[in-house]
Amino acid sequence: MTHSSIRLRRGAVTAVAVGALFVPVAGGVAFADRAGSVTGAAAATEPPVAPGTVRQLTPAVARQLDAAVQRVMHEANVPGVSVGLWTPDKGQYVRSFGVADKASGQKMTQDLHIRIGSETKTFTVTALLQLVDQGKAGLDDPIAKYISGVPNGDKITLRQLAEMRSGLFNYSADEGFYKALTTNPDKPFTPQELLAYSFKHPVLFAPGAKFLYCNTNLILLGLVVEKLSGDTLADYIQEYVVTPAGMHQTLFPKGAEFPEPHAQGYTDQTASGKVEDSADWNPSWGWAAGAMISTLDDLRTWAPTVATGVLPDGKPLISAATQKERLDTIKTTIPGAGYGLGIFRVQGWTGHNGSLPGYETLTIYLPEAKATLVVVLNTDINYKGAEPSTVFGEAITKIASPGNVFNLPSQPAAR
């Protein structure tokens, strides 16, 4: 629920606009998904499906899913999308449609690397929670204990940063930042530069007073991880989160590197307002809030891992007690949605979405059914005010899990 993305676009709460990294300036980074109704994605009427369950993924259901995904793709003008829905006992549905590169016509395939935007938040918070388990920090410690110069830093806790209740201004909603990024998207940003865009604005509310998705929070938590671990954030996440999870195609880039094969990304969050290819943009501006890269299959691994706190080999990713705190979701302004420590619950699904210029992802897990849904696509251009990842998620779950239909309605600007 980033607000799923790091969205630059003004006014969106990305994802809930939760995954959005960039909320253009008129707003803060909203939850990266601005969801709307799914046109024509009618759920099958028989047999009835109870909440917490997924329909048998028969060939007939697969055809319904094919039609729904292709309908959204056509209506939202999405170049390429890959979808995976996996269950332990109802089968699986894995498909790719469209193109990864509009210039060459390269097909979208399931092995392509994708920038995952605000899904990075789940990795950064996992790193923090591991260090909390080690006794190196407490969730109720003030951020001022670790980072100086933060407005209200003596009152804002690490917990409030992770649950999006700090009251800090979202740096990606700053006009100057938006201009700097879109004018020169190859520019590397430091965490300190990002924080400066935020800290020149007054705080928006008292710590803990309300929920407001904000990328600034994650930049601060990334710095805390570095201070406590003695590692760079990228190295720590790679060694202690990504590698133990067996995610061999996932990385936290240290620059603009983008492993092959990858999809090109198409965005209208540009200086000209025209659609451009953002594949080579430097993601440092998202850093701990949205810089990471992964694949459909690796995100399949991550969905149950982050939702349960247990690695694929059965060992704990974080302690059971800390995982319970992570999933203690606070009610948000979004109907049916709660946000925990860097993770959301929406209509029974647990996970996160991601959006940054050119790319969107959705990685969610339905615990009762042990079902995983991953959607990756190569555009972040909204459709009827909704983020396309949310529109796909809604269309798919209306058919596959009608008792748990994923939806993140758009929210007012997070200004």
- Domains identified in the chain, total number: 1
Which residues form the domain of 259?
Answer: 59-400
pLDDT at res. 10: 34
In a domain, 190, yes or no: yes
Residue 14 is assigned to a structural domain of this protein: no
Strands across the sheet containing 337-339? 92-98, 80-86, 371-377, 359-366, 349-356, 344-346, 337-339, 330-331
Q: Which residues of 198-210 are buried (b: 16+ CB within 10 A; e: fewer)?
A: bbebebbeebbee
- Whether 35 is covered by a domain: the verdict is no
Residue 407, domain member (yes or no):
no
113 occurs within a structural domain: yes
Q: Give me the CATH number covering residue 96.
A: 3.40.710.10
pLDDT in tens, the chain (415 residues): 334 445 554 333 333 456 777 544 322 233 333 222 233 333 444 567 899 999 999 999 999 999 999 999 999 999 999 999 999 999 999 999 999 999 999 999 999 999 999 999 999 999 999 999 999 999 999 999 999 999 999 999 999 999 999 999 999 999 999 999 999 999 999 999 999 999 999 999 999 999 999 999 999 999 999 999 999 999 999 999 999 999 999 999 999 999 999 999 999 999 999 999 999 999 999 999 999 999 999 999 999 999 999 999 999 999 999 999 999 988 887 778 999 999 999 999 999 999 999 999 999 999 999 999 999 999 999 999 999 999 999 999 999 999 999 998 654 332 2
**Cross-strand partners of 294:** 114
pLDDT for 187 equals 95
Answer yes or no: is 96 within a domain: yes
- Return the structure tokens found at 212: 């407001």
Bridge partners, 207 (sequence order): none
In a domain, residue 257? The reply is yes
Per-residue pLDDT at 20: 73
Type of residue at 202: P
HEC string for the chain: CCEEECCCCCCCCCCEEEEECCCCCCCCCCECCCECCCCCCCCCCCCCCCCCCCCCCCHHHHHHHHHHHHHHHHHHCCCEEEEEEECCCCCEEEEEEEECCCCCCCECCCCCEEECHHHHHHHHHHHHHHHHHCCCCCCCCEHHHCCCCCCCCCCCEHHHHHCCCCCCCCHHHCHHHHHHHHHCCCCCCCHHHHHHHHHCCCCCCCCCCCCCCCHHHHHHHHHHHHHHHCCCHHHHHHHHHHCCCCCCCCECCCCCCCCCCECCCEECCCCCCCCEECCCCCHHHCHHHHCCEECHHHHHHHHHHHHHCECCCCCECCCHHHHHHHCCCEECCCCCEEECCCCEEECCEEEEEEEECCEEEEEEEECCCCEEEEEEECECCCECCECHHHHHHHHHHHHHCCCCCCCCECCCCCC
Residue-level pLDDT at 6: 52
What is the per-residue pLDDT for 18?
Answer: 62
| 32 in Cβ contact with 360 (< 8 Å) | yes
- The CA distance from 20 to 8, in Å, is 7
pLDDT score recorded for residue 169? 98
* Predicted local distance difference test score (pLDDT) of residue 412: 36
List CB contacts of 309: < 8 A, sequence separation 6 or more. Answer: 316, 317, 318, 319, 320, 322, 323, 326
pLDDT of residue 46: 55
Asked if the structure places residue 415 within a domain, the reply is no
pLDDT of residue 26: 28
Per-residue confidence (pLDDT) for residue 22, from 0 to 100: 57
**Beta partners for 267?**
276
